[in-house]
Structure 1
Amino acid sequence: MLPNLTQQFNIGNIVSLASYLYRSNFKRFSRLSLFAHLWLIVPIYGWAKFYAFAGLISRLAFSEINGEPESSKVAKIQIKKRFWQFLITAILVILICLLQFFLFYIAISIIAGIIYGILATVFGAISQPINKANPFENTIFRIIIIPIAIAIYSSPLWFYSRFFITDLPLAIEDDTNSIGAIKRSRQLSKGLTWRIIAIILVSFVITLPIQILGWLIYSIGFNILIRLISLFLSGTWANENKMFISILPLMISILINGTILMPFWQSIKSVVYYDIICCREGFDLKIRDRTIELTSDWNK
């Protein structure tokens, strides 16, 4: 029995459908992802190409879910119309998230100071001064700082969740610019922050083995380079220039990781965007019916 079409996919269905899109289009999506990451070498224009390729993958994934698959050639024509908008949108999202984090950090630091002052006065903790070498010896300091630290370190994910699908409206919807895409993302994700965070965390856990593999490649490649340079040049030179030597294996690791993972994340975004507009705007419920069946078959 199919679930109610007015209900959202559960997180498992979202990840499963994204995985299906990723696997069934792996060759095409990974090729686009490779080009995107190679363009990162070129400042500004290359960065714009990177985000445009990301938007292209999102559009292609969405067209698959929507039941109206596009060729890469046709999709590129649409993406090209807003080429620079993708870079501008990415920069604006980064700046907005940084500003929000900065303001949150200041506010929560002030609140923490006030709370500590009140508790220290009430419970006489002033008689137990904070040891600068080990401030965690102070009980009230520990009680305050641990939740504060958790809030600070998790807040970037909270802020970013409101902009998680920003590139989808830009890649798919008509008459949209950077500001419009940001507003659209905030509007669609309103009230779904925890859900989107959960999707991001589950997706991160799924991709963790690939990320670990990428860092293993970096570590092995770095050690091999060090030994080869020590063998043909000198061990002293190799030890003094470890940072310079590490650049090549690091770039290879980033390229492999990025090429493999970008299509998966763009597929996740596409499914989340599709799911939200179906539930909130009644978008193409017939196609949603077919999509649920497809997801059910994939889960078997």
Structure 2
Amino acid sequence: MSQNQTPIEPLSVGNVVSAGLRIYRDHFKSYFGLSVIVSLWSFLPFVLLIPIVLLFIFSQLESQALLILIPLCLLLILYSSGKSIVNGSIIARLVFSELTNQPETVSDIRQILNPKIWIFLWAFFLLFLIGIGAYIGFSLGFGIFAFIITAVGFPFQDNFVLTGIVVLIGIVIFVIALSLMIRLLTRFFIFDMPLTVEENITATKTLGRSWELTKGYIGRIFMILLVANLVSIPIYIVIQIIAAIIQGIVFVNIPVETIDPSFQLLSFLVGYAIGILGNIFLLPFWQAIKAVIYYDLRTRREGMGLELRKREI
């Protein structure tokens, strides 16, 4: 894009969220079905690992068998995770195709994205490493400062002024570090969208594209995510109410002590199932928000010459 090209006015925070909601509403059936597939793929490894673990415990498998099962389990987890990621990305690409007024079918998108399954996994792993690195850096930095406060500040424990200054410095450093971490992770909120939409994108390139596109818009993206979370609160509340009702029914109708392991396992499974149900409903919404943000940033930065259809806004 030419350096002198006038950037297109970005969508407002409210428009991004409302566009995501409306597209999700208009395509609820297809998006919801894909979200169910995402959850099933993510849950599959746990379902298959249960009999394997029981087999190992009760049949006392030899170490050779264990050496075979462990790689198979890891491969299963990776493949299922990849399929889950790809199906989630299909939702995002469907939303993007709606925004560009160039609708695609699920089968067509699946044929494009399925070969990228291992690239998606590598990209997610790289993002995981970035997150872990940021967390470790944050923890070490704050831990070192806390140690310095303990070692140096102790002699001044009777001096309230110096103690207050040290505590204030600690609070400021904590806030700055937390802000930097949030900014870092926010810049990668759309990290998988370039890989989902664009051609000839590798795992490292998709992270780089996200970093490039979000430059200068961290505050605005953070506000969009904040508003989207507020919109999601009613769904979270309903899910918690349903979970409490079901767990109450289980508690009343099952004649076992609450400390009984079987009751604890059943309670966990019920809560986990309710959590999956909530994720099924919310995943398409968040994928839509991600796609709208990506579309908006690309339109503004690269002048794709695309306009949101008025009915979507």
Q: TM-score, normalised by structure 2?
A: 0.79
Aligned to 1:21: 23
Which of 284, 291, 306 is the aligned partner of 1:263? 284
Counterparts of 1:95 and 1:246 in 2: how far apart (Å)? 33
1:165 maps to a residue whose letter is I
Distance 1:156 1:260, change over 3 A: farther
Which of 94, 103, 118 is the aligned partner of 1:84? 118
Superposed, 1:1-300 pairs within 5 Å as 6-41=8-43, 42=45, 43-111=77-145, 120=153, 125-127=156-158, 139-140=164-165, 142-151=167-176, 156-230=181-255, 234-235=256-257, 238-241=258-261, 242-283=263-304, 285=305, 287-288=306-307, 291=308, 293-296=310-313
**Contact 2:24–2:285 (Cα < 8 Å) also in 1:** yes
User: Aligned-pair RMSD on alpha carbons?
Assistant: 2.5
Aligned to 1:133: none
* Offset at residue 48 of structure 1 (A): 1.1
Please list every run of 5 or more consecutive structure 1 residues that lacks an aligned counterpart in the other structure.
130-137
**Contact 1:48–1:84 (Cα < 8 Å) also in 2:** yes
**Could you list the per-position Cα deviations for residues 177-230 of structure 1 after superposition, in whole angstroms to 9, with x for gaps in the alignment?**
211111111111112111111111110110011112212222222222222222
Counterparts of 2:87 and 2:14 in 1: how far apart (Å)? 27
SS in 1 for 2:101: coil
Identity rate of aligned residues, in percent? 29
Please list every run of 5 or more consecutive structure 2 residues that lacks an aligned counterpart in the other structure.
1-5, 46-76
Aligned to 1:135: none
2:266 maps to a residue whose letter is I
Counterparts of 2:301 and 2:84 in 1: how far apart (Å)? 30
**Contact 2:41–2:83 (Cα < 8 Å) also in 1:** yes
Counterparts of 1:245 and 1:153 in 2: how far apart (Å)? 38
Counterparts of 2:238 and 2:166 in 1: how far apart (Å)? 39
Q: TM-score, normalised by structure 1?
A: 0.82
Higher mean C-alpha deviation, range 96-105 or range 22-31: 96-105
* Offset at residue 108 of structure 1 (A): 3.9
Higher mean C-alpha deviation, range 209-218 or range 20-29: 209-218
Higher mean C-alpha deviation, range 167-176 or range 150-159: 150-159
Counterparts of 1:187 and 1:105 in 2: how far apart (Å)? 27
* Offset at residue 97 of structure 1 (A): 1.1
* Offset at residue 272 of structure 1 (A): 0.4
* Offset at residue 159 of structure 1 (A): 2.5
1:92 maps to a residue whose letter is L
Distance 1:128 1:203, change over 3 A: same
